[in-house]
Amino acid sequence: MAIIRLGIIGLSCSAITSWASTAHLPYLLSPRGRSRFAIVALCNSSIDAAKAAIKAYNLDPTTTRAYGDPAALAADADVDLVICCTRVDTHYALSKPSVEAGKHVFIEWPLTHDVKLSRDLVARAAEAAAAATDASASKNAPLSSPPRTVVGLQGQLTPVVAKLRALVQGGTLGKVLSSEVRAFGGTMDREKVKDGLGYFGDSKIGGNVFMIGFAHLFDYVQSVLGEATDIKSHLQLQRPEMKLTNASGTVTGSLRSDVPDLIAVTASLTPSRAVQQGATLQVRFRRGQPFKGEPALAWWVNCEHGEIRLLSPAGTGLHADAYARPVTIDVHRFGHEEASKAGEEAVVSKEEWTWLDWQEDNQLPLVARSVAQVYDEFYEHVVGGKERSYPDFGDALRRHEQLASMLGAWEAEL
Protein backbone atom coordinates (compact mmCIF):
# COMPACT_ATOMS: atom_id res chain seq x y z
CA MET A 1 0.00 0.00 0.00
CA ALA A 2 1.00 3.64 -0.40
CA ILE A 3 3.35 5.39 2.00
CA ILE A 4 2.22 8.78 3.35
CA ARG A 5 5.16 11.20 3.41
CA LEU A 6 5.09 13.60 6.31
CA GLY A 7 6.81 16.66 7.65
CA ILE A 8 6.86 17.47 11.35
CA ILE A 9 6.83 20.99 12.78
CA GLY A 10 8.17 21.01 16.32
CA LEU A 11 10.18 17.81 16.73
CA SER A 12 12.65 19.54 19.00
CA CYS A 13 15.69 18.19 20.83
CA SER A 14 15.84 21.16 23.23
CA ALA A 15 12.25 21.92 24.30
CA ILE A 16 11.11 21.64 27.93
CA THR A 17 8.47 19.19 26.80
CA SER A 18 8.37 17.45 23.43
CA TRP A 19 5.07 15.76 22.72
CA ALA A 20 6.31 15.07 19.21
CA SER A 21 9.16 12.89 20.44
CA THR A 22 7.33 11.13 23.28
CA ALA A 23 3.89 10.59 21.71
CA HIS A 24 4.30 10.77 17.92
CA LEU A 25 7.76 9.45 17.12
CA PRO A 26 7.48 5.97 18.74
CA TYR A 27 4.74 4.92 16.31
CA LEU A 28 6.27 6.61 13.28
CA LEU A 29 9.57 4.79 13.87
CA SER A 30 7.95 1.44 14.71
CA PRO A 31 7.72 -1.31 12.07
CA ARG A 32 4.00 -0.68 11.62
CA GLY A 33 4.47 3.08 11.42
CA ARG A 34 7.30 2.79 8.88
CA SER A 35 5.13 0.57 6.69
CA ARG A 36 2.58 3.38 6.40
CA PHE A 37 4.40 6.68 6.96
CA ALA A 38 7.79 8.14 6.12
CA ILE A 39 9.28 11.22 7.79
CA VAL A 40 10.73 13.26 4.92
CA ALA A 41 11.01 16.72 6.49
CA LEU A 42 11.39 18.56 9.79
CA CYS A 43 10.63 22.23 10.34
CA ASN A 44 11.93 23.96 13.48
CA SER A 45 12.81 27.52 14.46
CA SER A 46 15.76 27.41 12.06
CA ILE A 47 17.29 25.07 9.52
CA ASP A 48 20.13 24.39 11.96
CA ALA A 49 17.65 23.48 14.69
CA ALA A 50 15.91 21.09 12.30
CA LYS A 51 19.24 19.51 11.34
CA ALA A 52 20.10 19.10 15.02
CA ALA A 53 16.81 17.27 15.60
CA ILE A 54 17.39 15.03 12.57
CA LYS A 55 20.70 14.01 14.11
CA ALA A 56 19.36 13.71 17.68
CA TYR A 57 16.53 11.36 16.66
CA ASN A 58 18.67 9.31 14.25
CA LEU A 59 16.63 10.23 11.20
CA ASP A 60 18.26 9.72 7.81
CA PRO A 61 19.80 13.09 6.80
CA THR A 62 19.84 12.04 3.15
CA THR A 63 16.06 11.58 3.01
CA THR A 64 14.89 14.05 5.70
CA ARG A 65 14.94 17.70 4.62
CA ALA A 66 15.46 20.49 7.16
CA TYR A 67 13.35 23.65 7.14
CA GLY A 68 13.23 26.77 9.25
CA ASP A 69 10.21 28.30 7.52
CA PRO A 70 6.72 26.74 7.54
CA ALA A 71 5.97 28.28 4.13
CA ALA A 72 8.94 26.44 2.64
CA LEU A 73 7.70 23.18 4.17
CA ALA A 74 4.24 23.84 2.73
CA ALA A 75 5.78 24.32 -0.71
CA ASP A 76 7.51 20.93 -0.63
CA ALA A 77 5.67 18.80 -3.18
CA ASP A 78 7.05 15.61 -1.62
CA VAL A 79 5.25 16.21 1.70
CA ASP A 80 1.72 14.79 1.90
CA LEU A 81 0.94 15.31 5.60
CA VAL A 82 2.15 18.07 7.93
CA ILE A 83 2.18 17.49 11.71
CA CYS A 84 2.19 20.52 14.05
CA CYS A 85 3.41 19.76 17.59
CA THR A 86 4.39 23.17 18.98
CA ARG A 87 3.12 25.45 21.73
CA VAL A 88 -0.51 26.20 21.03
CA ASP A 89 -0.14 29.94 20.40
CA THR A 90 2.04 29.12 17.36
CA HIS A 91 -0.30 26.54 15.82
CA TYR A 92 -2.19 28.95 13.58
CA ALA A 93 0.78 30.72 12.00
CA LEU A 94 2.82 27.55 11.56
CA SER A 95 -0.02 25.45 10.10
CA LYS A 96 -1.81 27.98 7.91
CA PRO A 97 0.63 27.74 4.97
CA SER A 98 0.22 23.96 4.78
CA VAL A 99 -3.57 24.20 5.09
CA GLU A 100 -3.68 26.73 2.25
CA ALA A 101 -1.29 24.60 0.17
CA GLY A 102 -3.75 21.73 0.29
CA LYS A 103 -1.72 19.39 2.48
CA HIS A 104 -3.21 16.93 4.89
CA VAL A 105 -2.66 18.64 8.27
CA PHE A 106 -2.57 17.14 11.78
CA ILE A 107 -2.52 19.72 14.60
CA GLU A 108 -2.21 18.75 18.22
CA TRP A 109 -4.95 19.94 20.58
CA PRO A 110 -5.79 22.77 21.13
CA LEU A 111 -6.29 23.62 17.49
CA THR A 112 -5.31 27.26 18.13
CA HIS A 113 -5.17 29.57 21.15
CA ASP A 114 -8.16 31.64 20.02
CA VAL A 115 -11.60 30.50 18.93
CA LYS A 116 -11.70 33.09 16.11
CA LEU A 117 -8.45 31.74 14.69
CA SER A 118 -9.83 28.21 14.97
CA ARG A 119 -12.86 29.24 12.94
CA ASP A 120 -10.58 30.82 10.36
CA LEU A 121 -8.39 27.71 10.08
CA VAL A 122 -11.45 25.49 9.66
CA ALA A 123 -12.73 27.79 6.89
CA ARG A 124 -9.35 27.77 5.12
CA ALA A 125 -9.20 23.99 5.27
CA ALA A 126 -12.69 23.76 3.76
CA GLU A 127 -11.66 26.12 0.96
CA ALA A 128 -8.56 24.04 0.23
CA ALA A 129 -10.61 20.84 0.13
CA ALA A 130 -13.16 22.43 -2.23
CA ALA A 131 -10.41 23.73 -4.50
CA ALA A 132 -8.81 20.28 -4.66
CA THR A 133 -12.15 18.71 -5.54
CA ASP A 134 -12.82 21.29 -8.27
CA ALA A 135 -9.33 20.85 -9.73
CA SER A 136 -9.76 17.09 -9.90
CA ALA A 137 -13.20 17.36 -11.50
CA SER A 138 -12.01 19.88 -14.11
CA LYS A 139 -9.43 17.35 -15.34
CA ASN A 140 -12.14 14.70 -15.80
CA ALA A 141 -10.01 12.49 -13.59
CA PRO A 142 -11.14 10.16 -10.81
CA LEU A 143 -11.65 12.13 -7.63
CA SER A 144 -8.41 11.98 -5.69
CA SER A 145 -8.41 12.24 -1.91
CA PRO A 146 -8.96 15.89 -0.93
CA PRO A 147 -6.84 17.30 1.89
CA ARG A 148 -7.89 15.93 5.26
CA THR A 149 -7.53 17.52 8.67
CA VAL A 150 -6.76 15.84 11.99
CA VAL A 151 -6.72 17.17 15.55
CA GLY A 152 -5.11 15.55 18.57
CA LEU A 153 -8.24 14.68 20.55
CA GLN A 154 -7.15 11.07 20.62
CA GLY A 155 -8.80 10.24 23.93
CA GLN A 156 -12.01 9.32 22.14
CA LEU A 157 -10.17 6.55 20.26
CA THR A 158 -8.60 4.79 23.25
CA PRO A 159 -9.66 1.18 23.91
CA VAL A 160 -10.90 2.01 27.42
CA VAL A 161 -13.14 4.80 26.10
CA ALA A 162 -14.27 2.56 23.23
CA LYS A 163 -15.24 -0.11 25.79
CA LEU A 164 -17.30 2.39 27.76
CA ARG A 165 -18.95 3.57 24.54
CA ALA A 166 -19.85 -0.01 23.62
CA LEU A 167 -21.47 -0.54 27.02
CA VAL A 168 -23.53 2.63 26.61
CA GLN A 169 -24.51 1.87 23.03
CA GLY A 170 -25.06 -1.85 23.58
CA GLY A 171 -28.54 -1.42 25.03
CA THR A 172 -28.43 -4.05 27.76
CA LEU A 173 -28.30 -1.37 30.46
CA GLY A 174 -31.07 0.71 28.92
CA LYS A 175 -30.83 4.39 28.17
CA VAL A 176 -28.48 6.77 29.92
CA LEU A 177 -30.34 8.80 32.55
CA SER A 178 -27.42 10.85 33.87
CA SER A 179 -23.66 10.90 34.17
CA GLU A 180 -21.27 12.37 36.70
CA VAL A 181 -17.54 12.96 36.37
CA ARG A 182 -15.17 13.90 39.19
CA ALA A 183 -11.61 14.64 38.10
CA PHE A 184 -8.35 16.03 39.44
CA GLY A 185 -5.23 16.86 37.48
CA GLY A 186 -4.12 19.08 34.64
CA THR A 187 -0.76 19.58 36.35
CA MET A 188 1.11 17.19 38.60
CA ASP A 189 0.83 19.57 41.56
CA ARG A 190 -1.91 21.91 42.76
CA GLU A 191 0.52 24.79 43.30
CA LYS A 192 3.67 24.22 41.22
CA VAL A 193 4.79 23.81 37.61
CA LYS A 194 8.22 23.55 36.00
CA ASP A 195 9.67 26.98 35.33
CA GLY A 196 9.55 26.38 31.57
CA LEU A 197 5.79 25.87 31.79
CA GLY A 198 4.91 29.20 33.34
CA TYR A 199 2.64 29.90 30.36
CA PHE A 200 0.17 27.49 31.99
CA GLY A 201 -0.82 30.51 34.09
CA ASP A 202 -1.41 32.80 31.09
CA SER A 203 -4.82 32.33 29.51
CA LYS A 204 -3.78 34.22 26.36
CA ILE A 205 -1.32 31.46 25.44
CA GLY A 206 -4.06 28.82 25.41
CA GLY A 207 -2.00 25.96 26.85
CA ASN A 208 -3.28 25.43 30.38
CA VAL A 209 -5.31 23.25 32.71
CA PHE A 210 -8.63 24.41 31.29
CA MET A 211 -7.75 24.12 27.60
CA ILE A 212 -5.75 20.89 27.88
CA GLY A 213 -6.54 18.80 30.98
CA PHE A 214 -10.22 19.65 31.25
CA ALA A 215 -10.82 19.92 27.50
CA HIS A 216 -9.45 16.46 26.72
CA LEU A 217 -11.67 14.96 29.41
CA PHE A 218 -14.73 16.92 28.29
CA ASP A 219 -14.17 15.71 24.75
CA TYR A 220 -13.86 12.00 25.42
CA VAL A 221 -16.81 12.12 27.82
CA GLN A 222 -18.96 13.54 25.02
CA SER A 223 -17.58 10.99 22.55
CA VAL A 224 -19.23 8.34 24.75
CA LEU A 225 -22.43 10.09 25.82
CA GLY A 226 -23.14 12.46 22.94
CA GLU A 227 -22.93 16.22 22.68
CA ALA A 228 -23.60 18.37 25.74
CA THR A 229 -26.11 21.18 25.31
CA ASP A 230 -27.52 23.93 27.51
CA ILE A 231 -24.15 24.11 29.24
CA LYS A 232 -24.01 25.98 32.53
CA SER A 233 -20.58 26.34 34.06
CA HIS A 234 -19.05 27.77 37.18
CA LEU A 235 -15.33 28.52 36.98
CA GLN A 236 -13.12 29.56 39.87
CA LEU A 237 -9.48 30.54 40.32
CA GLN A 238 -8.68 29.06 43.72
CA ARG A 239 -4.88 29.42 43.67
CA PRO A 240 -3.87 32.53 41.71
CA GLU A 241 -0.21 32.17 42.72
CA MET A 242 1.60 29.57 40.62
CA LYS A 243 5.01 28.51 41.95
CA LEU A 244 7.82 27.75 39.48
CA THR A 245 10.36 24.99 40.08
CA ASN A 246 13.65 24.02 38.47
CA ALA A 247 14.72 20.55 37.36
CA SER A 248 15.52 19.51 40.93
CA GLY A 249 12.11 20.61 42.21
CA THR A 250 13.34 23.71 44.02
CA VAL A 251 10.95 26.68 43.92
CA THR A 252 12.66 29.44 41.91
CA GLY A 253 9.87 31.99 41.65
CA SER A 254 6.18 32.50 41.14
CA LEU A 255 3.67 34.17 38.87
CA ARG A 256 0.04 35.28 38.98
CA SER A 257 -2.27 32.98 37.07
CA ASP A 258 -5.47 34.08 35.34
CA VAL A 259 -6.55 30.54 34.40
CA PRO A 260 -9.46 28.91 36.27
CA ASP A 261 -8.36 25.87 38.27
CA LEU A 262 -11.81 24.62 39.30
CA ILE A 263 -14.36 23.88 36.58
CA ALA A 264 -17.90 22.76 37.39
CA VAL A 265 -20.27 22.03 34.52
CA THR A 266 -23.90 20.99 34.36
CA ALA A 267 -25.42 20.26 30.95
CA SER A 268 -28.06 18.30 29.12
CA LEU A 269 -27.13 15.39 26.87
CA THR A 270 -28.51 15.22 23.35
CA PRO A 271 -31.24 12.55 23.32
CA SER A 272 -30.54 9.51 21.16
CA ARG A 273 -31.17 5.81 20.91
CA ALA A 274 -28.89 5.38 23.93
CA VAL A 275 -29.65 8.57 25.87
CA GLN A 276 -32.93 9.56 27.49
CA GLN A 277 -34.54 12.92 26.79
CA GLY A 278 -33.42 15.33 29.52
CA ALA A 279 -30.43 13.26 30.66
CA THR A 280 -28.02 15.31 32.76
CA LEU A 281 -24.23 15.54 32.66
CA GLN A 282 -22.23 16.88 35.60
CA VAL A 283 -18.46 17.38 35.42
CA ARG A 284 -16.20 18.69 38.15
CA PHE A 285 -12.50 19.18 37.42
CA ARG A 286 -9.97 20.54 39.92
CA ARG A 287 -6.33 21.24 39.25
CA GLY A 288 -3.78 19.17 41.14
CA GLN A 289 -3.94 16.11 43.35
CA PRO A 290 -7.13 14.48 44.66
CA PHE A 291 -7.77 13.70 48.32
CA LYS A 292 -5.09 11.23 49.39
CA GLY A 293 -6.04 7.73 48.34
CA GLU A 294 -8.85 8.85 46.01
CA PRO A 295 -8.65 8.25 42.23
CA ALA A 296 -7.75 11.11 39.90
CA LEU A 297 -10.79 10.28 37.78
CA ALA A 298 -14.11 8.72 38.74
CA TRP A 299 -16.82 8.59 36.09
CA TRP A 300 -20.31 7.20 36.61
CA VAL A 301 -22.91 6.57 33.90
CA ASN A 302 -26.35 5.90 35.37
CA CYS A 303 -28.63 3.92 33.05
CA GLU A 304 -32.16 2.49 33.31
CA HIS A 305 -31.03 -1.03 34.21
CA GLY A 306 -27.58 -0.50 35.65
CA GLU A 307 -24.71 1.84 36.35
CA ILE A 308 -21.19 1.98 34.92
CA ARG A 309 -18.19 3.23 36.89
CA LEU A 310 -14.79 4.02 35.39
CA LEU A 311 -11.91 4.62 37.79
CA SER A 312 -8.51 5.96 36.76
CA PRO A 313 -6.30 6.21 39.87
CA ALA A 314 -3.24 7.76 38.21
CA GLY A 315 -4.70 10.53 36.06
CA THR A 316 -7.39 11.94 33.81
CA GLY A 317 -5.25 11.62 30.67
CA LEU A 318 -6.89 8.56 29.15
CA HIS A 319 -5.49 9.97 25.90
CA ALA A 320 -1.94 9.87 27.27
CA ASP A 321 -0.38 8.93 30.59
CA ALA A 322 -3.15 7.74 32.91
CA TYR A 323 -2.05 4.11 32.82
CA ALA A 324 0.61 3.99 35.54
CA ARG A 325 -2.04 2.13 37.54
CA PRO A 326 -4.89 0.05 36.06
CA VAL A 327 -7.88 1.90 34.64
CA THR A 328 -10.97 -0.14 35.50
CA ILE A 329 -14.60 -0.33 34.39
CA ASP A 330 -17.24 -1.94 36.64
CA VAL A 331 -20.94 -2.44 35.96
CA HIS A 332 -23.68 -2.74 38.57
CA ARG A 333 -26.69 -4.39 36.99
CA PHE A 334 -29.83 -3.46 38.91
CA GLY A 335 -32.24 -6.11 40.15
CA HIS A 336 -29.65 -8.88 40.30
CA GLU A 337 -29.16 -8.88 44.05
CA GLU A 338 -31.30 -11.98 44.67
CA ALA A 339 -29.66 -13.83 41.80
CA SER A 340 -26.28 -12.98 43.24
CA LYS A 341 -27.21 -14.42 46.61
CA ALA A 342 -28.03 -17.66 44.86
CA GLY A 343 -24.64 -17.56 43.17
CA GLU A 344 -26.13 -17.19 39.72
CA GLU A 345 -24.85 -13.74 38.76
CA ALA A 346 -22.65 -11.07 40.29
CA VAL A 347 -24.23 -7.76 41.24
CA VAL A 348 -21.10 -5.91 40.12
CA SER A 349 -18.98 -7.23 37.26
CA LYS A 350 -15.62 -6.08 36.00
CA GLU A 351 -15.55 -5.23 32.31
CA GLU A 352 -12.21 -6.07 30.74
CA TRP A 353 -10.60 -3.89 28.11
CA THR A 354 -7.31 -4.38 26.29
CA TRP A 355 -4.94 -2.50 24.04
CA LEU A 356 -5.07 -3.40 20.36
CA ASP A 357 -2.72 -6.21 19.39
CA TRP A 358 -0.60 -4.03 17.15
CA GLN A 359 -0.16 -1.41 19.90
CA GLU A 360 1.38 -4.06 22.12
CA ASP A 361 3.18 -5.96 19.34
CA ASN A 362 5.00 -2.77 18.34
CA GLN A 363 5.96 -2.23 22.01
CA LEU A 364 4.69 1.32 21.94
CA PRO A 365 5.03 3.36 25.15
CA LEU A 366 1.66 3.84 26.85
CA VAL A 367 1.74 7.60 26.27
CA ALA A 368 2.12 7.03 22.51
CA ARG A 369 -0.56 4.40 21.93
CA SER A 370 -3.57 6.68 21.47
CA VAL A 371 -1.73 9.04 19.12
CA ALA A 372 -0.62 5.96 17.19
CA GLN A 373 -4.25 4.98 16.79
CA VAL A 374 -5.04 8.38 15.28
CA TYR A 375 -2.29 7.85 12.69
CA ASP A 376 -3.49 4.33 11.97
CA GLU A 377 -7.11 5.33 11.48
CA PHE A 378 -6.10 8.32 9.36
CA TYR A 379 -4.15 5.96 7.12
CA GLU A 380 -7.05 3.53 6.84
CA HIS A 381 -9.31 6.43 5.83
CA VAL A 382 -7.05 8.15 3.31
CA VAL A 383 -5.37 5.10 1.79
CA GLY A 384 -7.70 2.27 2.71
CA GLY A 385 -10.93 4.12 1.93
CA LYS A 386 -12.58 3.42 5.29
CA GLU A 387 -15.05 5.83 6.85
CA ARG A 388 -13.42 8.58 8.92
CA SER A 389 -13.21 7.64 12.60
CA TYR A 390 -10.64 10.16 13.88
CA PRO A 391 -11.35 13.75 15.08
CA ASP A 392 -10.85 16.56 12.57
CA PHE A 393 -10.80 20.37 12.61
CA GLY A 394 -14.60 20.52 12.66
CA ASP A 395 -14.72 18.39 15.80
CA ALA A 396 -12.07 20.64 17.34
CA LEU A 397 -14.09 23.76 16.56
CA ARG A 398 -17.14 22.38 18.36
CA ARG A 399 -15.02 21.91 21.48
CA HIS A 400 -13.48 25.36 21.12
CA GLU A 401 -16.93 26.92 20.86
CA GLN A 402 -18.05 25.15 24.05
CA LEU A 403 -14.92 26.18 25.95
CA ALA A 404 -15.10 29.77 24.72
CA SER A 405 -18.68 30.07 25.96
CA MET A 406 -17.62 28.88 29.43
CA LEU A 407 -14.66 31.24 29.60
CA GLY A 408 -16.73 34.13 28.27
CA ALA A 409 -19.37 33.67 30.96
CA TRP A 410 -16.66 33.51 33.65
CA GLU A 411 -14.81 36.57 32.39
CA ALA A 412 -18.07 38.53 32.27
CA GLU A 413 -18.52 37.89 35.99
CA LEU A 414 -15.03 39.12 36.94
Q: What is the pTM of this model?
A: 0.94
Note whether residue 22 is domain-resident. yes
Supply the pLDDT for residue 337.
Answer: 60
Percent of the chain exceeding pLDDT 70 equals 93
Q: What is the pLDDT of residue 13?
A: 81
Instruction: Write the DSSP string, 288-340.
Output: S--STTS-SEEEEEEESSEEEEEEESS-S-TTTTGGGS--EEEEEETT-HHHH
In this predicted structure, what is the pLDDT of residue 411? 82
Indicate whether 413 pLDDT > 90: no
Is residue 368, in this structure, part of any structural domain at all? no
Task: Classify residue 187: in a domain, yes or no.
Answer: yes
Based on the domain organization, do 129 and 171 belong to the same domain? Answer: no
Does residue 135 share a domain with residue 213?
no
Q: What φ, ψ does residue 403 adopt, rounded to 5°?
A: -65, -40
Residues 215 and 114 in one domain: no
Question: 346: pLDDT confidence band, cut at 50, 70 and 90?
Answer: low
pLDDT of 17:
60
- Dihedral sign (CA 314, 316, 320, 326): positive
* pLDDT in the model for residue 141: 41
Q: How confident is the model at residue 414 (pLDDT cuts 50, 70, 90)?
A: low
Average pLDDT over residues 130-152: 71
Within a domain: 359: no
CA distance 87 to 413: 29
* pLDDT grade for 15, boundaries at 50, 70 and 90: low
Question: Is 138 found in the same domain as 88?
Answer: yes
CATH of the domain at 45: 3.40.50.720
- Compute the mean pLDDT over every residue in the chain, rounded to the nearest whole number: 93
Shared domain for 166 and 45, answered yes or no, is no
Q: Is the pLDDT of residue 204 over 80?
A: yes
- SS3 of the chain: helix, strand, coil, percent, to 5: 40, 25, 35
Tell me: do 191 and 116 sit in the same domain: no
Given a cut of 70, is residue 134 above it in pLDDT? no
Q: Are residues 143 and 159 in the same domain?
A: no
Q: How many domains does the chain have?
A: 2
Asked if residue 156 has pLDDT above 70, the reply is yes
* 368 confidence band (pLDDT: 50, 70, 90): very high
Shared domain check, 317 and 234: yes
Residue 357 belongs to some domain of the structure: no
In a domain, 265, yes or no: yes
Same domain, yes or no, for 219 and 245?
yes
pLDDT, average across residues 2-19: 86
Domain range for residue 120? 4-147+374-383
Burial of 22 (0-12, 13-18, 19+ CB in 10 A): middle
